[in-house]
Amino acid sequence: MEISKMKIKDDFIQGNDRIKILSNRGKPTAIPPEWQPVLDSCSILIVIPDMHMYIHGENLDNFSYGADAMLHFLSHCGKLKKKLARNGKTLRLYQTGDIYELRFPSKSPTGSNVGPGEITLSDSSYGKIVNTLDSLRTHYIYGNHDFELRHYLGYKFFANEGKVHLEHGFAADKWSDFSNPKAPLWEPGQFLFKTAREIEMILSKLLVATSIIQPDEHFAIGVKSGKTERGNYPSPSTYATKHPNQSKYYEKRLKTNKDGAKTKICIIAHTHQPYLNANVDGGKYILADAGAWTEGRSDFAVVTNEEIAVCRYKRK
Amino acid sequence: MKNLEKFRAIAGMFLLFIVIAVMMQACIGGCASKCAIHEPDAENFRSKVPSSTLQASFSEGKLVPGMPYFVVQEMFQECGNRRGIPVASVGSRQELKEVEGWNRQSYDPNIKVYMDKYKTEFGELAVWYRFQDFYRMEVKAGDSFYAYWQDSIKSSLIDYLTDRDNVMVQSSLTGIPDDAACFGEIRHLDNPKYNTTYYYELTKVDSITLYLEPADPDYYPIQKIEVNGEPEEFFQWRSAK
């Protein structure tokens, strides 16, 4: 069987100077020849991480700062997808969870949490982004912030693309993190969390009324504002200390073949820290974190049969 | 006697309380402030909606199915009503909502049919609008297709769909350059649900291929209108100019 050979710079980036490789000092990481092919039904795999879209214009919304970059990125992927399709090749997109911030309150008087429709209709760019993702036949994995989507067609807990395992990453968290829907006390934790955000919404209205913050300025305690673009690649050595749950849990899963004997690469998100470790268990596996497309970041991961990289799409 | 008088006083107060509560409920239902209707931007409409049928309706002050949702947004721009209520189908008033856990709700993002309701001086207006593609709108071979580009209209017949957002027509749409953005109108040959459907963001890929760009929700076409709970062909927001 002929293996589809693709290079990230030549075949994906194709001179788009808004795409920068973050991992491996700006160079794609080679996939060992003995692993290839790692993809069995597509030629290029793109992984879009956490977006946390909320109602546009609300102080709790942090995605709006990166929305324009997302539209441009999807346009790049769309053109490439069509070009590859003419040659019988497939570019496949995954959005690996937390596309929406459903843990925040709805603006309707139901007292409940917000829904996807309320978010996508809040601004034409948000609707356009979601409709573009759909038109590109994006596969969706649900996260802890959009856990309710698990009921619906097209949303999965995990996916295996050949030898690549994709998951959001919340499964590693303990009950005390209050970010694992499958751990105890998640329900009461989310109820309190939403209540806290409701109080925050009232507080933000006061801050806007007194001109301390702008009407559409991000304000959410404990969340970095996306107003400042963040394109740094934190040192990989910090990942294990900052996110020990994910580091230990997913490395262990790779080593014990929990996701199938052929799995060689695991890509998660959830932590909002881009990361790539090609040296798991002495180089037998690769663990990557696609980062985030919120809090000022605009990261994503790209995999071909020959290479893998965590990248960012620069804002204009 | 004293006890009887006490009882009458308490019963009277209770009755008064019930009457006030009922009147308040009726008032909340009927006396809630009506939405002021603003005149939509005519120039914007003319530039974005080239269909002569829809333009004629606009000049007559009629909101009709097929018009883009931004017309409704402009008309009710100051109304604080809840918008974009997700419903299962066009015409359904039941909010599509699942509830689980501690008051956590969810909606299926695959279903993109929405309803707005407005109290107006002409009655309660309900408007349904939705995401459209050729598959959802049951476009079929043989339907008449009209492509509007600048001041020209080119017509053909639908040949087949290659994807839900990609359609081939039977005869070449000469005169419209490739990659041009067009407005499309399809008059259905044999469709029990729609006579005519409109497509706001088409791109002419080549002489016989058209691609429907991912929709901006401001351009979701209005599907249905009801006034005071009854289906209407239009909502008259002002007398004809």
Q: For the segment B56-70, what is each residue's pLDDT rounded down to a tens digit?
A: 999 999 999 999 999
Task: Decide: A268 and A157 in contact? Cβ < 8 Å.
Answer: no
B-chain residues within 8 Å CB-CB of A116? 107, 109
Q: Do B165 and A130 touch (CB under 8 A)?
A: no
Quick: pLDDT tens for B111-123. Answer: 999 999 999 998 9
Residue B227, min C-alpha distance to chain A (Å): 23
- Is A26 in contact with A268 (CB distance < 8 Å)? no
Chain A: residue nearest B216 by CA? A128
Higher pLDDT, residue B63 or B78? B63
Residue B240 pLDDT > 70, yes or no?
no
Q: Quick one: how far is CA A231 from the chain centroid?
A: 15
Does any CB of chain B come closer than 8 Å to the CB of residue A308?
no
pLDDT at residue A167, rounded to an integer: 98
What span, in angstroms and rounded, lies between the C-alpha atoms of A41 and A38? 10
pLDDT top residue among A200 and A43: A43
Which SS3 state, helix, strand or coil, does residue B229 take?
A: coil
Judging contacts by C-beta atoms under 8 Å, the chain A residues touching residue B84 are 117-118, 121
**Chain A residues 49-108 within an 8 A CB cutoff of chain B:** 102, 106-108
Contacts of B97 in chain A (CB under 8 A): 115
* β strands within chain A, DSSP E: 19-21, 29-30, 44-48, 91-95, 139-141, 155-156, 158-161, 164-167, 265-268, 274-280, 285-290, 299-303, 307-313
Q: Give the closest of B84, B110, B165 to A121, CB-based.
A: B84
For chain B, report the end-to-end CA distance as a whole number of angstroms.
Answer: 73
Q: Cα separation of B123 and B229, whole Å?
A: 9
Contact with chain A for residue B112, Cβ under 8 A: yes
Cis amide bond preceding A37, omega within 30 = yes
The mean pLDDT value for A260-279 works out to 95
In degrees to the nearest 10, what's the CA dihedral of B180, A81, A291, A16? -60
- Tell me if B205 sits within 8 A of B178, measured CB to CB: yes
Contact call for A135 and B214, based on CB within 8 A: yes
- A-B contacts (CB, under 8 Å): 82
Give the minimum alpha-carbon distance from A301 to chain B in angstroms, rounded to a whole number.
23
pLDDT at site B23: 60
CB atoms B86 and A115 under 8 Å: yes
Q: How confident is the model at residue B28 (pLDDT cuts 50, 70, 90)?
A: very low
Cβ of residue B117 closer than 8 Å to a chain A Cβ:
no
- Confidence (pLDDT) at B30: 47
What's the pLDDT at B8? 81
Quickly state the pLDDT bin for B241 (edges 50, 70, 90).
Answer: low
Q: What is the pLDDT of residue B29?
A: 46
Question: Which chain B residues contact residue A107 at CB under 8 A?
Answer: 82
C-beta atoms of B105 and A151 within 8 A? no
Q: What is the pLDDT of residues A57-106, one digit of tens each?
A: 999 999 999 999 999 999 999 999 999 999 999 999 999 999 999 999 99
List CB contacts (< 8 A) between B166 and chain A. Answer: none
The packing angle between helices A67-86 and A124-135, to 10°, is: 20
Query: Which of B82, B165, B216 lies nearest to residue A124, judging by beta carbons?
Result: B216
Provide, as residue numbers in chain A, all residues whose Cβ is less than 8 Å from the Cβ of B86. Answer: 115, 117
Inter-chain residue contact B84 with A131, CB threshold 8 Å: no
Max mean pLDDT range (A221-225, B10-14, B166-170): B166-170
Distance (Å, rounded) from C-alpha A161 to C-alpha A294? 25
| pLDDT score recorded for residue B17 | 66
For residue B1, name the pLDDT band (cuts at 50, 70, 90): low
pTM, to two decimals = 0.89
Asked whether the predicted pLDDT for residue A1 surpasses 60, the reply is no
Instruction: Examine the pLDDT at B75 and tell me if it is beyond 90.
Output: yes
Q: What is the pLDDT of residue B32?
A: 54
C-beta atoms of A153 and B110 within 8 A: yes
Residue B6 predicted with pLDDT over 90: no
Nearest chain B Cα distance for residue A261, angstroms: 34
A195 touches chain B (CB under 8 A): no
Cβ atoms of A207 and A213 within 8 Å: the answer is yes
Q: Are A148 and A99 in contact (CB under 8 A)?
A: no
Identity of the highest mean pLDDT range in A129-133, B98-102, B187-191: A129-133
What phi and psi values does residue A83 have, to the nearest 5 degrees?
-65, -45
Q: Hey, which residues 65-104 in chain B have their CB within 8 Å of chain A?
A: 82-86, 97-104
Cross-chain Cβ contact A152/B101 below 8 Å: no
Looking at chain B, the whole-number percentage of residues with pLDDT higher than 70 is 92
Q: What is the pLDDT of residues B206-234, one digit of tens each?
A: 999 999 999 999 999 999 999 999 999 99
**What is the chain B residue with the closest CA to A134?**
B214
pLDDT band at B4 (very low <50, low <70, confident <90, very high): confident
- This complex has an ipTM of 0.85
Nearest to residue A308, comparing CAs of A71, A35, A69? A35
Query: How far away is chain B from the Cα of A236, in angstroms, using its nearest Cα?
Result: 36
> Closest to A151 (Cβ–Cβ): which among B82, B98, B214?
B98
The amino acid sitting at A222 is: G
